[in-house]
Amino acid sequence: MVKRCWLFLTMFSFPLVTSDNQPNYPTSLPDFSLLLPKPGQGLELVSTEVGGKQHWYGRIFLNHTSVYEEKMAKMEVKTSLLDNMIGVGDMVLLEPLNEDSFINNLKKRFDHNEVYTYIGSVVISINPYRSLPIYTPEKVEEYRNRNFYELSPHIFALSDEAYRSLRDQDKDQCILITGESGAGKTEASKLVMSYVAAVCGKGAEVNQVKEQLLQSNPVLEAFGNAKTVRNDNSSRFGKYMDIEFDFKGDPLGGVISNYLLEKSRVVKQPRGERNFHIFYQILSGASEDFLCKLKLERDFSRYNYLGLDSAKVNGVDDAANFRTVRNAMQIVGFMDHETQSVFEVVAAVLKLGNIEFKPESRVNGLDESKIKDKNELKEICELTGIDQSVLERAFSFRTVEAKQEKVSTTLNVAQAYYARDALAKNLYSRLFSWLVTRINESIKAQTKVRKKVMGVLDIYGFEIFEDNSFEQFIINYCNEKLQQIFIELTLKEEQEEYIREGIEWTHIEYFNNAIICDLIENNQTGILAMLDEECLRPGTVTDDTFLEKLNQVCATHQHFESRMSKCSRFLNDTSLPHSCFRIQHYAGKVMYQVEGFVDKNNDLLYRDLSQAMWKASHSLIKALFPEGNPAKINLKRPPTAGSQFKASVATLMKNLQTKNPNYIRCIKPNDKKAAHIFNDALVCHQIRYLGLLENVRVRRAGYAFRQAYEPCLERYKMLCKQTWPHWRGPARDGVEVLFNELEIPEEEFSFGRSKIFIRNPRTLFKLEDLRKQRLEDLATLIEKIYRGWKCRTRFLLMKKSQIVIASWYRRYAQQKKYQKIKSSAIVVQSYIRGWKARKLLRELKHQKRCNEAATIIAAYWHGTQARRELKRLKEEARRKHAVAVIWAYWLGLKVRREYRKFFRANAGRKIYEFTLQRLMQKYFLEMKNKMPSLSPIDKNWPARPYLFLDSTHKELKRIFHLWRCKKYRDQFTDQQKLIYEEKLEASELFKDKKALYPASVGQPFQGAYLEISKNPKYKKLKDAVDEKIIIAEVVNKINRANGKATSRIFLLTKNNVLLADQKSGNIKSEVPLGDVTKVSMSSQNDGFFAVHLKEGSGAAGKGDFLLSSDHLIEMATKLYRTTLSQTKQKLNIEISDEFLVQFRQDKVCVKFIQGSQKNGNIPTCKRKNNRLLEVAVP
């Protein structure tokens, strides 16, 4: 038989057979394009009816044995999960259901590039380790607003189902992505987010939110992902992102939560693995200047924290990724100084690994550690702004506080290395948490309207290694909780659908892993509780004492195994070492080595190091260690890592239970990270610990398949004569008639309110086989009808063609006869016309010769007459010319005799004037060629050629300079004119008066030194100020009591002067310009100035303002100009090294003196007494 790929088949718009069972041929078919058949070929036609429109499809085949592809007449093709199915697309329909058939089905689909498979509404995703053309924009549109089971399995189908449920049904959603490292969890989460971003709304604000949400991934991947033996981009932390939407389904923002960053990787990596990506990206992609600022070198081998065996990864461009990360941080909303601070902390962590210690014995016999080379320590301190002696002491001593007592002990070399690594891990871990918090500030929803939420959980899968430690224990605990909520929500979803459809719910037997969760998290007898109790217990605490406690408390638990427990059945179990215990998880047994459990749970950082970090002048590092503040010392022991993670998991579970869950189970096909390789044993191992078979059994414990009545009737209506081709009644009645006609046992199906439920997959496959056979029969019938229609159409076309050909021939014969008669008449006419023309030509030639003879005779006579007249005129002209010449000579002689006596008296003056005129003309022509450039600062001018032109030469130089200055000014924009006017005003006010003025001449006046409109930190300040801000600058406000400086934001508007708090943005003082009477400053090279206020005004209650700024000249100039513009009065600028300032009721003298400074060239201010404030200027 022919192998055919069919669509949903419906009837033609005409009946296939008549009442007497004879084929009915249509008179016309719709336009469509087909390949022409070869000899012996037939043609199949299929029509589908979608939305009341008929769609036709064809297929050419040869003798019912070979199939040729054809061009589809319609590009929009509607398929089903059951059409073209490779293997089984939904594991619920797999028959028989066992582990081998499960794996074989996955392998079969994987070999055909089908990487997605369903278990009901759960998506199984197999990592193909290569790019597949199934994520294009066309695919996004194909799955958009489609039923979940309408198309072949795809992650886009689940994403679309979740998004539409959130948008249309107002149900909060969560997408849980699980699987082991390298299974493609991170890529799956990216695909989900990219699909949601593609199908949701558009607009500038919406696009900005989407871009920020998407660009948060590269930042978190750089700082939280690393290359492992299983995955080149392995997430070493758990991530849960809540994406918030408005009522239209447009994204408003998001919130990210991170879980258990693998910070131990910072100081040590297994063989064949790398540290976090960001270390390698900085060293590979940063410029030389940037590396110099961070005090780093490009060579990886210079740093002990970087493993060298896997420093380079094939196919990974760390330099390009670094540029991507910096661009992503900018898009997300990181300020430049924040980005710089982050990279400085990363550089400090990297350099901490290069600090090495040496032993040194003290007088009392105790061992002490000393730093070998202090250059690295010095560079770290320069990066972080920590006093070198403070950090060095923190690495060598430890202070223990108990109530009112402090005990300081020395650290040996091993303890010093532990302190160094603990600091590096804590510093990086806290930096990562700060990054997540900072990203949340940027991407959080700005509006307070009610939001819909879609959560995406990308978290570690179940881990079973050769050596399993504390990290694997809490990761597997998290997976136990996820498995528990997965089974509960799956059963809940099944039960709700059965109740909704009115079908009786029967209890389903399944393995409940609550007993395992209780073994781990019980507050009294749980393993985590025992671990916390052991960590807090006084006395000697080791991993062995922890294991002994477990053996006492958990020995009788059926899922706990230990060789040292009281249970005799494990005493001789050689596969279980004495220093280990084993737990029977839902995914299998896992053996944990107890070594390191206590230390990793304590996660201890010495208080000396916390206090040293808090003393840093680096604002970010200081913010990362708030517990180091001596004023906030808390002697209470910090919570352990296990209890923190337990609380985080509990919060996560509570959050997930409030949302509608969607699951993506990721599977890694092989350990080689290679395409086209499917390792059955590895996949089987993952199927077991993901509990996929258990999931299928739970799903099909009731009814394996369910479908709405309308698509079910549409798909199988051709199997029953009563429903084919059209069923006129309700869809449910049609399905009942169909199933009764097919004699399907009643226990195999049940009727719900809107769906048909089929219990056994064999029943569904039987329906599919019957449908396939029926389609074959219908195709044969359609082919027969089409062939008849084709032959009849060909006959009618040939008949019509014969009539057309005959009419065309008769027309042609008449045309030929007419042309022959017409050509004969034309020949006769041409002969007659030729004879008449020749006769006329002879007459015209004779007449022409006569006319030419008369013309020639007349011409000769006229020529003779003209020559005679010309000769006469020439003779007369010669006579007149001779008379004129003689008369001219006579007049000349007469004049010369008359004026000879006056010639010598006037000749000198005329010659002088003529010579002077010629010199002036030469001077101006030479000046034209020697003109200097049009630059106003060009001092060149041609030399003066003659002494008598000295004043003229100078005046020309002045006029030319004024002219080119005007030409130069005409080029200025209004903004440039304003800048030069301000510079000119500053020159008039401060030139030769203030020593600071010359340094400000070359500096442009910017005004807005703080990006208040762009920085979200100053949003509150921006909203409070309605006027245009002329200048925004951070100044130091001098305290009246002690002379110390406090940072304030100085704002100058058209009507007011404002001082605001730099951190909170709250306005502290607001002074109208009319209340400012004077500005005082010294004549020296400092930035101090006093703003004097009008006595009795509302703003003068606390007195005048004494401020310090790095842009004093600009601030004073703009204040002067703004006051003059608004009040029409000039502001008094007093420049003196000693002036009075009104502080409340007292007047204090501010005196400026010369003196050397301890802190470099920064002026200092000290309060000498109640009436004197002294400022030392270098």
**1000 contacts 986 by C-beta, under 8 angstroms:** yes
Alpha-carbon gap, residue 181 to 480, rounded angstroms: 17
Single out the catalytic residue among 182, 224, 238, 642. Answer: 182
Rounded to the nearest angstrom, the gap between the alpha carbon of residue 875 and the centroid of all alpha carbons in its chain is 106
Helix, strand, coil % over all residues of the chain, rounded to 5: 50, 20, 35
Q: What is the dihedral of CA 913, 916, 922, 928, to 10 degrees?
A: -100
Alpha-carbon gap, residue 257 to 252, rounded angstroms: 17
The strand pair at 122-126 and 588-593 is best described as unpaired
- Helix (H/G/I), strand (E/B), else coil: 996: coil
In sequence order, the β-bridge partners of residue 585 are 588
Quick one: how many helices (H) and strands (E) in the chain?
A: 30, 34
Tell me phi and psi for residue 1175, to 5 degrees. -115, 120
In sequence order, the β-bridge partners of residue 47 are 56
- Helix (H/G/I), strand (E/B), else coil: 669: coil
Residue with tokens 């781990």: 520
Active site residue 181: yes
Active site residue 442: no
Single out the catalytic residue among 117, 152, 178, 181. Answer: 181
DSSP state of 943: P
Kind and range of the H or E run holding 1058: strand 1056-1061
Single out the catalytic residue among 47, 105, 186, 1082. Answer: 186
Candidates 240, 244, 173; CA nearest to 651 is 240
Alpha-carbon gap, residue 474 to 90, rounded angstroms: 33
**1102 contacts 1144 by C-beta, under 8 angstroms:** yes
Single out the catalytic residue among 70, 463, 501, 710. Answer: 463
Active site residue 182: yes
Candidates 969, 941, 967, 965; CA nearest to 955 is 941
Active site residue 79: no
Rounded to the nearest angstrom, the gap between the alpha carbon of residue 330 and the centroid of all alpha carbons in its chain is 9
**34 contacts 749 by C-beta, under 8 angstroms:** no
527-536 helix and 543-553 helix, angle to the nearest 10 degrees: 140
- Helix (H/G/I), strand (E/B), else coil: 1090: strand
The encoded tokens of residue 130 equal 């290569």
Single out the catalytic residue among 80, 105, 225, 235. Answer: 235
Amino acid at 1153: I
Alpha-carbon gap, residue 1052 to 1058, rounded angstroms: 6
Rounded alpha-carbon distances, angstroms, from residue 455 to 178, 294, 492, 654, 969: 14, 38, 19, 13, 61
Amino acid at 148: F
Active site residue 205: no
Rounded to the nearest angstrom, the gap between the alpha carbon of residue 609 and the centroid of all alpha carbons in its chain is 37
Amino acid at 306: L
Residue with tokens 């009294």: 524
The strand pair at 1056-1061 and 1029-1038 is best described as unpaired
Active site residue 408: no
Residue with tokens 């980005």: 339
Single out the catalytic residue among 80, 228, 234, 490. Answer: 234
Alpha-carbon gap, residue 54 to 10, rounded angstroms: 9
Alpha-carbon gap, residue 263 to 342, rounded angstroms: 17
Query: String of b and e for 248-285 (b: at least 16 CB within 10 Å)?
Result: ebbbbbbbbbbbbbbbbbbbebeeebbbbbbbbbbbbb
**660 contacts 172 by C-beta, under 8 angstroms:** yes
Single out the catalytic residue among 47, 80, 117, 231. Answer: 231
The length of the chain in residues reads 1178
Active site residue 231: yes
692-700 helix and 680-690 helix, angle to the nearest 10 degrees: 60
Alpha-carbon gap, residue 1088 to 1124, rounded angstroms: 22
Single out the catalytic residue among 461, 526, 628, 1065. Answer: 461
Number of Cβ within 10 Å of residue 994's Cβ equals 22
* Catalytic residue positions, numbered: 181-182, 186, 231, 234-235, 461, 463
